[in-house]
Amino acid sequence: MIRSQVLPYWLAFCVSVIGQAAGGSEADELFERTIRPYLVERCYSCHATHGTRENGLAVDWAGGLAEGGYYGPAVVPGEPEQSAIMLALRHAEDLPMPKGGPKPSAAIVNAFERWIRLGAPDPRQEPPTREQLAAATSWETTFQRRLSWWSLQPLADPAVPAAPKQSGWLASSDHPVDRFLFNRMAEAGVTPAGEADPDTLLRRATLVLTGLPPTLEQRRTFLEDQQPDRWAHLIDRLIDSPAFAERWARHWLDCVRYCETHGSEGNPAIPHAWQFRDWCIRAIDSDLPIDQFFREQVAGDLLPNPRIDRERQINESALGIGQLRMVPHGFNPTDPLDELVTFTDNQIDVLSKAFLGMTVSCARCHNHKFDAISQADFYALFGVLESCRPAVIQADAPGRDASKREQLAELKQQIKAELAAGWRAATDDLYPRFDRALATDQAEADELEQLEASPPEAADDPADKKKLAERKKKWEADRNRLRDRRRARREPGHPLAVFYRLADAAAPDQQAVWRSLQQEAAATGNTIQADRGGLPPPKTWYASGNGLAGATADGAFRVEPEGERVLTGLLPAGIHSNLLVSSAGGVLHSPQFAIDGRPIRMLVAGTGGARGRIVIWNYPRALGLNYFRTSLNDDQFQWITLQNSYFTGEEAHLELATGADIPVETVAGKRSWFSLAAVDRGDGPLPPPLPPAGLFTLLPADDPLLSAATVDRADLAAGYAGVAQRAVEAWQRGQATATDVRLINALLEADLLPARMDELPPVVPLVSQYRTIDRSIAPPVRAPGVHEGTVDDQPLFVRGDHRQPTDRVPRRFLEAIDPAPFPAGSSGRLQLAEAIVAADNPLTPRVFVNRVWHHLFGRGIVASVDTFGAMGEQPSHPDLLDFLAARFRVEGWSLKKLVRQLATSRAFRLAAPPTASAAEADPTNRLVSHWQLRRLEGEAIRDSLLTVSGLLDRKQYGPSAGDRANRRSIYVPVLRNVEEPFLSVFDPPSTQSTQGRRDISQVPAQALVLLNGDLARRCSEALARSLLAEAELPDAKARVRRLFLRSLGRPPTADELAASIAWLDGEASRRGIDPSAAAAAVPLWQDLAHAVLNLEEFIHVN
């Protein structure tokens, strides 16, 4: 069982008998095996010759112990009672040592006492040199020593104890759990209790396994089952019920601090958080092997063979990583690296506690004080998680809608061909279209004039102020849009500038205008002027989501999903979302880079609240204060500027996301897309949106127009027809240049080329078919998760100070389990997931099995269910724990099998009262010799109220619903910063960290919420009305019986029945209710029901 060659000091914690080894006295042996390691491990850090010597004490040599400190000699050989060290070890007086550490076990205390009594022989006759001390306390030595801690040892495979000689209900069980338990009871001379009565057992099993009280129907089925294995039948029925999965999913949610908001100012929602909750329920319902359950929570999105739900077309595995996102986020932090450390620390804290029962988070600033966890371990995991970016992920099954997409692609080709044909035809006949273009331009001029003449004015109603501001904003936007459009048409870069400016000029001036245009053209370049300034080029960016399919050359387009137009225009070379499917979406994010303060600009277009932003150290919120972002609601390309000088020196990446794919502050429900054409970083003026493409630059060098002294509209039409034809042909061949695209777009905008379906009859059936298919494609399933980003090993932060980075730590798992670094090229989440469930990791199965035990028996074999390190508690039945863990692993990590195994033990069916011997020898029931009454969790209390009153809505899954929806409590929203009135008084779990064991407090607020709160009142009334409505209940006694059966799962005793009837009679007469009416008086029955629902029995499992 012990794999380590080092001093097995852990034995001293578990075993009280220290054998005498050959070659040394018992005392020498004690010193080397127990005393020295304990002193080094627990005492040297504060009480050593070269350290702080707290209280003047040095325990690192015999003289130091003899001299002692403030409390007198630490060790007086032969006299434990005069040795101050015994006070400290026993936690006597005001001297609980080690400070902040685990209390020394009885075995340790006994060993010290024995050693002192034997004369306290100590070979350390000289104070150690600094070097000796350093060697004894070095991390390497300490780490090796700590590796022998019990929970890090390989799983043992202990034999099931033989059948005991004793007789009795538990003793005669051949169930392995009972054998192990009884074995220990027999050793301790404790007699177990007998079996509880059937009603108690039914209620116990139903509540413990499903979180709901048994219904009358369930009771009948159970009691009528006369088979010898009716108990096993019951357990099977319960495990197979949907309620089981909801109950056990909630247990797991406690471990991963499930919540639906990020907290802090604004408390933003974690979009689709409920998907993770539903994933948990489905996983447990389908008895997903727990190793896979864990794997998916770390790297479900990366698995080579994910679980695909074909029916719902979902990559089910990917939903598992939602737990990584249940982190807190600050609001607009001035120190974004601190924010990164905070939320990554939270991820590490939860991962290590929930899966491993280890507190790795403690090692952020220094090596762990008590466990074999180094500071490097913390940063090894940090590197893995920091290489991932908070995201809304898409979890569609691979290949979802593939055939529809193929059809769309095919149709799009055909549409393109028809467009090209239509455009070619139009270029032959440009002249009449000129008039239309000029008319449109004039109409916009009129519209602008009208708009400018009528700015919005204040209404009389002062409450209208906000609306006025909104109207003003819209008015300004409309005005600017019109102005900008008219102005843009006349700018030198506009392909039709010549055309509009000639039209603007009076006839006599046209020659001069023509000449000046020629000169302007000669001075204008024709290339894109953006300068990336060292930013990663967009083709190296990471893309995720079903709306992104790599970069495209000039000339791509989107088919309009509705309306008269086939398309709005052609797209420049770049990365464009939603080129095929309008409901798709995605995220485009750049590699990490250092911020140098120069503004960053992106040439983008987008709609539906798509967002471009600069993401500093993965901080996912963007409120537009210092974390710059721009919401895109314009299909025209524009430069957006992302200021960042505030964050000079930090690291960042750029992100473009469609509205529904923004990680926090998501914009959902609108069609959204984005396009990225260029990135620029620099202090200079903004480059123009796109390369200029005036008529002059487009004409061939020998075109006579270029040298013409003057021009008329026929010449212009001929000139444009020529350049347009060439551009359309190039586009048709897939060889359009940026200039071609620019020209075609200008012609489309000016209506010189057709884009509406009424002008392009051949495309109508194609577009209509396209749209039908497009509409039939549902939006992707979205869920909280992360995207892989730039992979980096994390520098260790000196003393946890994030402004003091030092050497990088390779990404890897905990050194105590597996020190091999993870390969380059990915974050390492997949490797981390595998390491957590690897066969040589004994923690994971032990910790999980213990959690299940805890939920069944009320206390874990290791009571500190989240802490299997030195600060935790020792296992009460280490052999049983290993037996169960080994079986669990071998038998396929099945939760349902494990629960069935534990629930079919007789130990689970023990009655509550302890026997005399148990009360005497085992008052805290560590031996599990009887049932321990326990209070239900808030969720189970609320669900019980709703069940017995008949109000419970058994709808499963989907977005969370408030208390009044009467659904099971697992579907009630869990929001940071906000309390749910009922659940909050019954010790709800932390939303901050792993909490595998609920607190149980008793506070008056619980009594108040049940006595005066809305839920209990509603349920009492419903229960009363339903009792009165049941025709087969002839009289008050029958109703009282039914009330007890429904609420408590048992009939009332004769006393209780009498007391209830007496209470009803007394209340009726006190309230002046006529005896004949009393039997049917709702208020009276409601009050009785209310009283019953307030019984302690109702909120406890017996």
Footprint of other proteins on residues 90-149 (CB under 8 A)? 94, 96, 100
The answer to whether the beta carbons of residues 832 and 297 sit under 8 Å apart is: no
Instruction: Report the nearest approach of other proteins to the CB of residue 333 (Å).
Output: 6
Residues between 918 and 937 with contacts to other proteins, criterion CB under 8 A: 930, 933
457 lies in the site for other proteins, by CB under 8 A: no
Instruction: Report the nearest approach of other proteins to the CB of residue 913 (Å).
Output: 4
Q: How far apart are CA 903 and CA 397, in angstroms?
A: 37
- Choice from 79, 979, 1030, 1035 touching other proteins (CB under 8 A): 979
User: What are the φ and ψ backbone dihedral angles of 1064, each rounded to 5 degrees?
Assistant: -60, -45
Instruction: Report the nearest approach of other proteins to the CB of residue 499 (Å).
Output: 46
- Choice from 159, 409, 978, 1058 touching other proteins (CB under 8 A): 978
H-helix or E-strand containing 483? helix 465-489
Which part of the chain contacts other proteins (CB under 8 A), choosing from 306-314, 558-566, 743-751, 986-994? Answer: 986-994
- Choice from 993, 1026, 1078, 1079 touching other proteins (CB under 8 A): 993
Residue 133 or 193 with smaller CB distance to other proteins? 193
Which part of the chain contacts other proteins (CB under 8 A), choosing from 120-128, 246-254, 859-867, 899-907? Answer: 859-867
- Choice from 144, 414, 769, 864 touching other proteins (CB under 8 A): 864
1090 lies in the site for other proteins, by CB under 8 A: yes
The answer to whether the beta carbons of residues 947 and 212 sit under 8 Å apart is: yes
Instruction: Report the nearest approach of other proteins to the CB of residue 808 (Å).
Output: 26
Instruction: Report the nearest approach of other proteins to the CB of residue 467 (Å).
Output: 19
Which part of the chain contacts other proteins (CB under 8 A), choosing from 495-503, 580-588, 839-847, 1051-1059? Answer: 1051-1059
Q: Residue 291 in 3-state DSSP?
A: helix
User: What are the φ and ψ backbone dihedral angles of 687, each rounded to 5 degrees?
Assistant: -65, 155
Q: How far apart are CA 182 and CA 176, in angstroms?
A: 10
- Choice from 167, 227, 772, 1012 touching other proteins (CB under 8 A): 1012
71 lies in the site for other proteins, by CB under 8 A: no
Which x/- pattern, by CB under 8 A, does the window 629-668 give for other proteins?
-----------------x----------------------
1051 lies in the site for other proteins, by CB under 8 A: no
Residue 525 or 913 with smaller CB distance to other proteins? 913
Q: How far apart are CA 847 and CA 867, in angstroms?
A: 9
Q: Is the peptide bond before 462 cis (omega within 30 degrees of 0)?
A: no
H-helix or E-strand containing 1040? helix 1036-1048
Residues between 391 and 450 with contacts to other proteins, criterion CB under 8 A: none
872 lies in the site for other proteins, by CB under 8 A: yes
Residues between 173 and 212 with contacts to other proteins, criterion CB under 8 A: none
How deeply is 704 buried, as exposed, middle or buried, from its count of CB atoms within 10 A (0-12, 13-18, 19+)?
exposed
Residues between 277 and 336 with contacts to other proteins, criterion CB under 8 A: 328, 330-335
Residue 625 or 1080 with smaller CB distance to other proteins? 625
Q: How far apart are CA 209 and CA 983, in angstroms?
A: 20
Q: How far apart are CA 247 and CA 237, in angstroms?
A: 14
- Choice from 40, 74, 202, 362 touching other proteins (CB under 8 A): 362
Residue 727 or 1040 with smaller CB distance to other proteins? 1040
Please report how the helices 230-240 and 895-903 are oriented relative to each other, as an axis angle in degrees rounded to 10. 150
Complete DSSP assignment for 116-174: HHTT---S--SPPPHHHHHHHHSHHHHHHHHTT-GGGSPPP-PPPPPPPS--STTTT--
Q: How far apart are CA 117 and CA 111, in angstroms?
A: 10
Instruction: Report the nearest approach of other proteins to the CB of residue 359 (Å).
Output: 4
User: What are the φ and ψ backbone dihedral angles of 588, each rounded to 5 degrees?
Assistant: -120, 120
Residue 549 or 1078 with smaller CB distance to other proteins? 1078
The answer to whether the beta carbons of residues 932 and 859 sit under 8 Å apart is: yes
Which x/- pattern, by CB under 8 A, does the window 802-841 give for other proteins?
----------------------------------------
866 lies in the site for other proteins, by CB under 8 A: yes
Residue (of 866, 854, 960) closest to 276 by Cα position: 960
Instruction: Report the nearest approach of other proteins to the CB of residue 96 (Å).
Output: 8
991 lies in the site for other proteins, by CB under 8 A: yes
The answer to whether the beta carbons of residues 476 and 470 sit under 8 Å apart is: no
Instruction: Report the nearest approach of other proteins to the CB of residue 379 (Å).
Output: 19
Residue 266 or 561 with smaller CB distance to other proteins? 266
Q: How far apart are CA 494 and CA 506, in angstroms?
A: 21
Instruction: Report the nearest approach of other proteins to the CB of residue 769 (Å).
Output: 52
Which part of the chain contacts other proteins (CB under 8 A), choosing from 301-309, 536-544, 606-614, 979-987? Answer: 979-987
525 lies in the site for other proteins, by CB under 8 A: no
1004 lies in the site for other proteins, by CB under 8 A: yes
- Choice from 156, 425, 871, 1057 touching other proteins (CB under 8 A): 871
How deeply is 713 buried, as exposed, middle or buried, from its count of CB atoms within 10 A (0-12, 13-18, 19+)?
middle
944 lies in the site for other proteins, by CB under 8 A: no
Residue 350 or 656 with smaller CB distance to other proteins? 350
1005 lies in the site for other proteins, by CB under 8 A: yes
Which part of the chain contacts other proteins (CB under 8 A), choosing from 214-222, 546-554, 911-919, 963-971? Answer: 911-919
54 lies in the site for other proteins, by CB under 8 A: no
55 lies in the site for other proteins, by CB under 8 A: no
Q: How far apart are CA 754 and CA 432, in angstroms?
A: 13
- Choice from 459, 778, 1008, 1058 touching other proteins (CB under 8 A): 1008
Q: Which amino acid is at 109?
A: V
SS (H, E, C) 239-278: HHCHHHHHHHHHHHHHHCCCCCECCCCCCCECCCHHHHHH
Q: How far apart are CA 948 and CA 363, in angstroms?
A: 48
Instruction: Report the nearest approach of other proteins to the CB of residue 1090 (Å).
Output: 7
Give the bridge partners for 393, in sequence order.
783
265 lies in the site for other proteins, by CB under 8 A: yes
Residue (of 350, 294, 301) closest to 888 by Cα position: 294
- Choice from 440, 480, 990, 1069 touching other proteins (CB under 8 A): 990
Q: Which amino acid is at 490?
A: R
583 lies in the site for other proteins, by CB under 8 A: no
Residues between 958 and 977 with contacts to other proteins, criterion CB under 8 A: 976-977
Q: How far apart are CA 541 and CA 651, in angstroms?
A: 16
Which part of the chain contacts other proteins (CB under 8 A), choosing from 58-66, 71-79, 164-172, 867-875? Answer: 867-875
Residue 828 or 914 with smaller CB distance to other proteins? 914
Residue 550 or 1004 with smaller CB distance to other proteins? 1004
User: What are the φ and ψ backbone dihedral angles of 1032, each rounded to 5 degrees?
Assistant: -80, 0
353 lies in the site for other proteins, by CB under 8 A: yes
Residues between 30 and 49 with contacts to other proteins, criterion CB under 8 A: none
The answer to whether the beta carbons of residues 397 and 785 sit under 8 Å apart is: no
Give the bridge partners for 611, in sequence order.
631, 657
The answer to whether the beta carbons of residues 559 and 767 sit under 8 Å apart is: yes
How deeply is 340 buried, as exposed, middle or buried, from its count of CB atoms within 10 A (0-12, 13-18, 19+)?
buried
703 lies in the site for other proteins, by CB under 8 A: no
Dig out the tokens for 548 from the structure. 């992104």
Dig out the tokens for 242 from the structure. 């949907």
Instruction: Report the nearest approach of other proteins to the CB of residue 807 (Å).
Output: 24
Please report how the helices 402-427 and 763-775 are oriented relative to each other, as an axis angle in degrees rounded to 10. 150
H-helix or E-strand containing 61? none
